[in-house]
Structure 1
Amino acid sequence: MLKGVHLTLMIGPVVPVPVPEAVLNALQSVQVNIGGDSKTPSGFELKFSLSNKGPLQTLFLLTGGSLPPIMRVILVVTLNGLPEVLIDGVITQQKTQPGQDPGQSVLTLTGVDLTAVMGLIDLDGVPYPAMPPEARVALILAKYAWLGIVPMVIPSLLSDVPIPTQEIPRQQGHDLDYINDLADKAGYVFYLNPGPVPGMSTAYWGPEIRVGVPQPALNLDMDAARNVETLSFTFDADHKAMPIVYVQNPETKIPIPIPIPDISPLSPPLGLFPPIPKQFPQLKDTAKLSPVQAILTGLVVAARSSDAVTGTGTLDVLRYGRLLKARQLVGVRGVGPAYDGLYYVKSVTHTIKVGEYKQNFTLVRNGLVSTFQQVPA
């Protein structure tokens, strides 16, 4: 691998262990996708070069192409002495194809993070009497402590506790589907964040937080200070929407329309000039819900259309000096007044090969022109 970069690969059923040196030497490339849509789990792809007569063929394919129900994979990258867990997941598919050299083949292992385990068993119909959504999520996640998953559940600002004599919530589908459904209704996100040590993950269920200390800035067209290879932006002024929810008056039975703006204390505006809403979807089904549920539904629709500026680019990790992390803020400099400023890192893809470590990233924010006079370096 690269100077200053050390890769640790751990594979095993349930409890992974470091692979032998022969397996690590056969590793050709690593790709890890983190972030993106909250319903899309993080994933990985490992490619190995195998000799058709070598012992690794027996090691990987001894089971006749099948895998244990939970074949766990942990990838740890140590950059300049600082370890970082890239992914903690399970293998979902393996594929073998002929290589470029005679007598060689390429084994490709693909998988997703530990959310795949949450979709194995259908627990449809499990009751949760007098439990708000956050309590239901915490109870569901408690079952996965044996995998090192630690729940981080943030209570909703507008909590709606069902009264058992009127309603008893019941689970619908697998654990993962039900958790994501509860997150959608609360305007929250759900994802697993691997680390801080191998074998542990944090299950975050809460609002998409866009505040905090930003990562070192991405610099473009700044001569020696440039640390990105490519970076481009698009501005979509027609995507912005202001939903209109309906709350029914219990006495007159008349639905009252209420426009819902895109507001959130944990997601302050990063752009000084957001686009004017051009779409006003009417959510008439919200009249059947309680006022709290109706407002939450409107906030979800408004938040999904708030990101008008999208940036995509590529950087070399060694030139950047550290790993760019998803779901955090980062500064951008050298692009121009319209696009300089702070952005939310929506997703990051790690690509590791012999002598190369690059990251593809996607940045988003709500408008043009930075809200800060100076972008922190």
Structure 2
Amino acid sequence: MSALGTRLTILAGPSIPMPLTPDLTARVRDVTVTESDEGRSAFTITLDAGRSGPLAALDTPVLGRTPLRANNRVVLMVTLGVVPHVLMDGIVTETEYVPGSAQTQASVRITGQDLSLLLDRHEVSAEHVGLTDHLQVLAIAARYAAEGLIPSVIPPPVSEPPLPIERTPTQQGTDWAHLHQLAAANGFVCYVDPGPVPGVSTLYWGPPVRAGAPQKALSVDLGPDTTVIGSPTFREDVLGPEVVDGEVQDPRTGAVIPVRTFAVTRPPLAAMPVWAVHAPSVRTRAYRDTGISAVTALANAQARTDAAMNCVTGTGRLDGAVYGAVLRPRGLVGMRGAGWSHDGLWYVQQVVHQLSPGRYTADFTLGREGYGSTVPVVKVS
């Protein structure tokens, strides 16, 4: 499928994904891929299910010997120019068939989720004796190496090994649920990032990526240089930020230690953070966890404050052909043309890619902690 220099490649198969046959590729109507920095990414492929050929009286060929079957693996790649980008590496979970009528054509909708589905199938009860949070993540990820899942695990800044005579970390649920529980306790995110090549994905467990080279800037109201369709929408939620105030009794010394947070510790993206501008009105949440050391309690409290920082969000739609690149979540992107309050660097929370013959758009959701650009210029190419 070709659209203004954009080419979509679909690979599918029970174990090793292979390119679709030309007759099946020609039936693709549209593809949607939803990527998010939290939770599971998903995809939908809609195909023309009209009957044709010598076996038309029996059934649609889309439901015959097609590799787009339940539990098969699917890889979606989009190529802009000569650079391919893996948008999705996932598993088919649902097939929906709608017979045709006098008014509509028959269609088949294939729905699936990324490879994190493999970690979310079986609930287990397990103990992780003597393992810190990030070592638990590595131990769980190692079991899925054969599926092409490569771990990228960032240790928390504060991590105390659990002494077996004091406590033993336990798991009650699926591996995916346990990884998210550990991530939330440290203010981290956990997701599966497809690529960089077909058949390989990265299991990321660590802090949101708020550093490094930003992606090509989004341009608003800049005449022929505009890449955002229409006008983006920016929203401020003053109820988002929160600080923590409480105390914890250290199980080793018995001392009661205050647990308080005052500010966000992540790299700033805004010159005027909401938690600072509205400091007297910021919500305070009590710290009530027990049975952990003061160091761990302070780290958990700070993680809660950091996780609530993205209280200013921006949403809009991108023209992929004009933008000339593939916007990806879980990283930084520049914004220009929206005014000083909303220009600058943003963290990309979610991107919904929509591809159909002759068209490629991407709905995006951005987030940061406040208003005002912290950089004089942004990357435009």
**TM-score scaled to structure 2, two decimals?**
0.90
CA RMSD of aligned residues (A): 2.3
The whole-number CA distance in structure 1 between the counterparts of 2:135 and 2:60 is 47
Deviation at 1:11, TM superposition (A): 1.2
Aligned to 1:244: 245
Correspondence 1:23-102 to 2 at 5 A: 23-36=24-37, 38=38, 40-52=39-51, 57=59, 59-62=61-64, 68=70, 70-99=71-100
Instruction: Please state if 1:344 is matched with 2:339.
Output: no
Secondary structure of the equivalent of 1:199? coil
Aligned to 2:175: 175
Structure 2's unaligned 5+ residue stretches are: none
2:95–2:110: 8 Å Cα contact kept in structure 1?
Answer: yes
Residues 1:53 and 1:226: Cα distance change in structure 2 (over 3 Å):
closer
2:250–2:294: 8 Å Cα contact kept in structure 1?
Answer: no
2:260–2:298: 8 Å Cα contact kept in structure 1?
Answer: no
The whole-number CA distance in structure 1 between the counterparts of 2:21 and 2:250 is 67
Deviation at 1:25, TM superposition (A): 0.5
What amino acid does structure 1 have at the position aligned with 2:155? P
Aligned to 1:302: 305
Equivalent residue in structure 1 for 2:361, among 355, 358, 361: 358
Secondary structure of the equivalent of 1:131? coil
Deviation at 1:139, TM superposition (A): 1.0
1:245–1:283: 8 Å Cα contact kept in structure 2?
Answer: yes
Question: Would you say how many aligned residue pairs link Structure 1 and Structure 2?
Answer: 370
Aligned to 1:21: 22
The whole-number CA distance in structure 2 between the counterparts of 1:67 and 1:84 is 23
What amino acid does structure 1 have at the position aligned with 2:24? V
Deviation at 1:279, TM superposition (A): 3.6
Aligned to 1:9: 10
Structure 1's unaligned 5+ residue stretches are: none
Identity percentage over the alignment? 34
What amino acid does structure 1 have at the position aligned with 2:115? L
Secondary structure of the equivalent of 1:181? helix
Aligned to 1:367: 370
1:12–1:71: 8 Å Cα contact kept in structure 2?
Answer: yes
What amino acid does structure 2 have at the position aligned with 1:356? R
Equivalent residue in structure 1 for 2:326, among 298, 323, 328: 323
Aligned to 2:117: 116
Secondary structure of the equivalent of 1:242? strand
The whole-number CA distance in structure 2 between the counterparts of 1:145 and 1:228 is 39
The whole-number CA distance in structure 2 between the counterparts of 1:259 and 1:272 is 24
1:185–1:293: 8 Å Cα contact kept in structure 2?
Answer: no
Deviation at 1:292, TM superposition (A): 2.7
What amino acid does structure 2 have at the position aligned with 1:83? P
Deviations 1:217-263 (A, max 9, x none): 11111122211113121122232211224222569957443321343
What amino acid does structure 2 have at the position aligned with 1:235? E
Deviations 1:285-327 (A, max 9, x none): 2243221331232123212321121100111111011111111
Correspondence 1:277-288 to 2 at 5 A: 277=279, 278-288=281-291
Aligned to 1:227: 227
What amino acid does structure 1 have at the position aligned with 2:222? M
Deviations 1:254-284 (A, max 9, x none): 74433213433xx311111112242443334
Secondary structure of the equivalent of 2:377? coil
The whole-number CA distance in structure 1 between the counterparts of 2:272 and 2:343 is 13
**TM-score scaled to structure 1, two decimals?**
0.91
What amino acid does structure 1 have at the position aligned with 2:292? L
The whole-number CA distance in structure 2 between the counterparts of 1:302 and 1:149 is 31
Deviations 1:104-144 (A, max 9, x none): 411001111011111112222x2221111111111111111
1:29–1:354: 8 Å Cα contact kept in structure 2?
Answer: yes
The whole-number CA distance in structure 1 between the counterparts of 2:234 and 2:18 is 42
The whole-number CA distance in structure 2 between the counterparts of 1:103 and 1:242 is 55
Aligned to 2:139: 139
Deviations 1:170-215 (A, max 9, x none): 2211111111111111221111110010000011111112011111
Deviation at 1:26, TM superposition (A): 0.4
Correspondence 1:205-216 to 2 at 5 A: 205-216=205-216
Instruction: Please state if 1:127 is matched with 2:127.
Output: yes
Residues 1:101 and 1:20: Cα distance change in structure 2 (over 3 Å):
farther
1:246–1:287: 8 Å Cα contact kept in structure 2?
Answer: no
Residues 1:67 and 1:23: Cα distance change in structure 2 (over 3 Å):
closer
Instruction: Please state if 1:269 is matched with 2:268.
Output: yes
Worse overlay, 113-122 or 251-260: 251-260
Secondary structure of the equivalent of 1:196? coil
